[in-house]
């Protein structure tokens, strides 16, 4: 098992963390200072950025409504390149959660085309959805931890669903919980954890199966600024090792902490994009955003 | 066997009553099985005991006629092929047979008693009893041949009817148990909706989720079945205890064969399998309607 002190001395990472760096994808470096999370630097990206790479998410003229109500998302078009990092922002009720629901396959669009990993989700049979979902990690705004399970068992859930061996689960989950600073709390149940601890358990659960797409809904919404910084650091580290990441947030401080990250901005169900990095999308910012935010 | 995900919290109080409801169902169906099995066992015993027996009865107010025709009938029976064990009943035995009905005092007086002659049909042989009765009436005009066949046929019809009723009870109880399991599964699906949605979104297949339900309800079914069988054992013990205290002359000798006991012993497992399959099918059908 990986121990922090040995990491700091040797720069060696445990099998789970190192496992993020698949063949030809990237290498890992020793952690920075006394940050609780490991640090990675990308050195090569053949596997996920090569000529035959697929678009991770593609929306074309997508509309969505609940029941017979008005459309909450209107003509949404964008696509996410592999390994990209985006913020998703907008006022409350603008449709951020609805857009995320479409991306993590909790809802079907009313119209338009959505592809995930080049698979049209409308044409994908229901039986094939679990395989797609296993490639996606989700950090829910309300964590959605199972209160009757320990932090360890909550994080282990995705691995148990995919039928991994218990020895491997024990090793990797312990390592990841140590990585996010919860080694001492791994046997605690969620009701006894603080908001920040729950947040980190939720993040650990989202990344334990090494998803190709990570969707985080207000991941810093319940934590203090210091913890928020640590979470952002973790998300960036995951992104640097190739995980396509979308972070939904209201937090302008959080968005400013990642200069250059494209922002998907939703207002009244319509999407605009600020910053560069997305193709086929508008480059105009909504009126409610300040010029500084652009 | 695939590993359980254990994503569902423990049931509430209402759900914890389910094994007790199932136990009552098992008790009812167990009583029906026990009744059916006991009647079947007794039916076979009655058939064994009476199917080959015949009795000749000579009824006449004239003592001379009784004596003459009794001797003639005995001689006739002994002369018949495939008729064995011909035995005239002594008057004392005939009086003892009538005593429960007429009272010992009455029988001991000068009441004219019929003459009875018991006989048996040889094992494996068939006898035309109607023709034999006609021939007997020539030798002894006051003789009447009883083969028990008609009486036994009526009794067997009655027992078969009771068995059908018992089978109907078992079917109704089984349907009720399936319905209760369906409701309980639906209730559990509703109460665990958020957990189910979560594991769905993490990538669990319907089969893995349904498996959680099937093992849970297998245990509930077996637990309810065992409790029900224990209740049944108590009820049957009480019935046997009070039955033995009664004068058993009026009661048939009820017994349960080994296969009846096997069915009763297998009821908990059968209940568990039924609740397991019901829960699995119900869960899969509901999950198929979700995103």
Of the ranges A4-13, A206-215, A247-256, which is most confident? A206-215
**Inter-chain contact B5–A107, Cβ cutoff 8 Å?**
no
Q: Say if the ipTM goes beyond 0.85.
A: no
Given a contact cutoff of 8 angstroms between Cβ atoms, the answer to whether B57 and B141 are in contact is no
In terms of DSSP H, where are the helices of B192-257? 193-202, 206-245
Question: Residue A56's pLDDT is what?
Answer: 93
- Residue A162 dihedral angles phi and psi, to the nearest 5°: -85, 0
Helix segments in A184-240, DSSP class H: 195-207, 225-240
Contact B3 A160 (CB under 8 A): yes
Which residues between 151 and 210 in chain A have a beta carbon less than 8 angstroms from any beta carbon of chain B? 153, 157-158, 160-163, 166, 205, 209
Distance separating alpha carbons of residues A126 and A110, to the nearest angstrom: 17
Judged by average pLDDT, the poorest of A11-15, A30-34, A188-192, B235-239 is A30-34
> So what's the pLDDT on residue A286?
33
- A104 to chain B, any CB pair closer than 8 A? The answer is yes
Question: Can you tell me which residue has the tokens 């149940």?
Answer: A189
Residue A108, pLDDT above cutoff 70: yes
pLDDT tens-place string over residues A45-75: 222 334 456 789 999 999 999 988 889 999 9
Any idea which residue has 């190192």 for tokens?
A18
Q: Is A142 on the interface with B (CB under 8 A)?
A: no
Model confidence over B176-200: pLDDT tens digits? 999 999 999 999 999 999 999 999 9
* Mean pLDDT of the A114-130 span: 92
Asked if the C-beta of B201 comes within 8 angstroms of chain A's C-beta atoms, the answer is: yes
Closest CA to A26 of A206, A180, A171, A239: A239
Give the mean model confidence (pLDDT) for residues A21-33. Answer: 34
pLDDT of residue A67: 86
Distance from the Cα of B204 to chain A's closest Cα (Å) equals 6
Q: Closest Cα partner for A255 from A283, A285, A282, A294? A: A294
Reduced to 3 states (helix: H, G, I; strand: E, B; else coil), residue A68 is: coil
Please name the residue of chain A whose CA is at the shortest distance from the CA of residue B200.
A130
Q: Which residue of B has its CA nearest to A163?
A: B3
| Average pLDDT value for chain A | 77
Environment class of residue A222 by beta-carbon count within 10 Å: exposed (0-12), middle (13-18) or buried (19+)? middle
Residue pLDDT, tens place only, A146-162: 999 999 999 999 999 99
Model confidence over B76-117: pLDDT tens digits?
Answer: 988 888 888 899 888 888 878 777 777 766 666 667 788 889
* Neighbouring C-beta atoms of residue B153, cutoff 10 Å: 10
pLDDT(A197) > 60: yes
Ranges of chain B with pLDDT below 50: 250
Q: Does A107 touch chain B (CB under 8 A)?
A: yes
Burial label, A130 (beta-carbon count in 10 A; 0-12, 13-18, 19+): buried
Please write the tens of the pLDDT for every residue from A84-96. Answer: 999 999 888 888 9
């Amino acid at each position: 098992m990986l121990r922090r002190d040995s990491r700091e001395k040797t720069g060696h990472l445990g099998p789970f963390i190192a496992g993020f760096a698949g063949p030809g994808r990237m290498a890992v470096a020793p952690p920075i200072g006394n940050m609780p999370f490991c640090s990675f630097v990308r050195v090569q990206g053949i596997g996920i950025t090569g000529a035959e790479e697929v678009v991770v998410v593609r929306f074309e003229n997508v509309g969505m409504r609940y029941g017979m109500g008005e459309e909450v998302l209107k003509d949404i078009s964008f696509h996410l390149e592999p390994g990209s990092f985006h913020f998703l922002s907008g006022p409350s009720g603008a449709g951020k959660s609805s857009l995320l629901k479409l991306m993590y396959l909790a809802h079907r669009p009313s119209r338009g085309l959505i592809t995930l990993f080049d698979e049209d989700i409308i044409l994908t049979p229901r039986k094939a959805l679990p395989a797609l979902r296993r490639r996606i990690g989700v950090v829910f705004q309300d964590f959605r931890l199972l209160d009757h399970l320990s932090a360890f068992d909550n994080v282990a859930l995705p691995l148990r669903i995919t039928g991994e061996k218990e020895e491997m689960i024990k090793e990797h989950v312990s390592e990841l919980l140590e990585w996010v600073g919860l080694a001492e709390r791994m046997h605690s149940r969620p009701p006894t954890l603080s908001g920040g601890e729950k947040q980190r358990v939720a993040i650990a659960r989202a990344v334990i199966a090494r998803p190709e797409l990570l969707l985080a809904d207000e991941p810093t919404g319940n934590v203090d600024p210091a913890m928020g910084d640590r979470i952002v650091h973790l998300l960036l580290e995951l992104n640097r090792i190739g995980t396509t990441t979308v972070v939904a947030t209201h937090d302008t401080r959080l968005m400013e902490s990642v200069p250059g990250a494209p922002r998907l901005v939703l207002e009244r169900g319509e999407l605009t994009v600020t910053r560069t990095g997305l193709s086929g999308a508008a480059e105009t910012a909504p009126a409610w955003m300040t010029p500084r935010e652009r | 066997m695939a590993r359980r995900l254990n994503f569902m919290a423990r049931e509430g109080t209402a759900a914890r009553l389910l094994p007790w409801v199932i136990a009552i169902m098992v008790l009812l169906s167990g009583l029906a099985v026990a009744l059916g099995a006991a009647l079947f066992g007794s039916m076979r015993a009655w058939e064994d005991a009476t199917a080959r027996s015949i009795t000749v009865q000579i009824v006449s107010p004239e003592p001379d006629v009784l004596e003459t025709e009794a001797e003639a009938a005995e001689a006739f029976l002994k002369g018949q092929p495939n008729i064995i064990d011909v035995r005239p009943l002594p008057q004392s035995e005939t009086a003892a047979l009538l005593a429960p009905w007429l009272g010992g005092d009455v029988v001991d007086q000068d009441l004219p008693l019929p003459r009875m002659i018991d006989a048996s049909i040889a094992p494996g042989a068939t006898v035309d009893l109607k023709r034999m009765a006609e021939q007997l009436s020539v030798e002894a005009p006051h003789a009447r041949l009883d083969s028990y066949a008609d009486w036994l046929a009526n009794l067997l019809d009655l027992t078969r009817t009771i068995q059908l009723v018992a089978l109907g009870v078992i079917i109704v109880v089984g349907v009720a148990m399936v319905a209760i399991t369906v409701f309980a599964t639906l209730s559990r699906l509703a109460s665990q909706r958020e957990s189910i949605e979560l594991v769905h979104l993490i990538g669990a297949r319907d089969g893995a989720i349904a498996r959680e339900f099937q093992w849970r309800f297998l245990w509930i079914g077996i637990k309810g079945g065992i409790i029900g069988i224990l209740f049944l054992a108590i009820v049957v013990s009480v019935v046997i205890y009070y039955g033995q205290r009664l004068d058993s002359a009026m009661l048939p000798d009820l017994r349960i064969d080994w296969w009846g006991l096997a069915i009763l012993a297998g009821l908990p497992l059968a209940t568990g399998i039924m609740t397991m399959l019901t829960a699995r099918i119900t869960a899969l059908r509901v999950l198929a309607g979700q995103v």
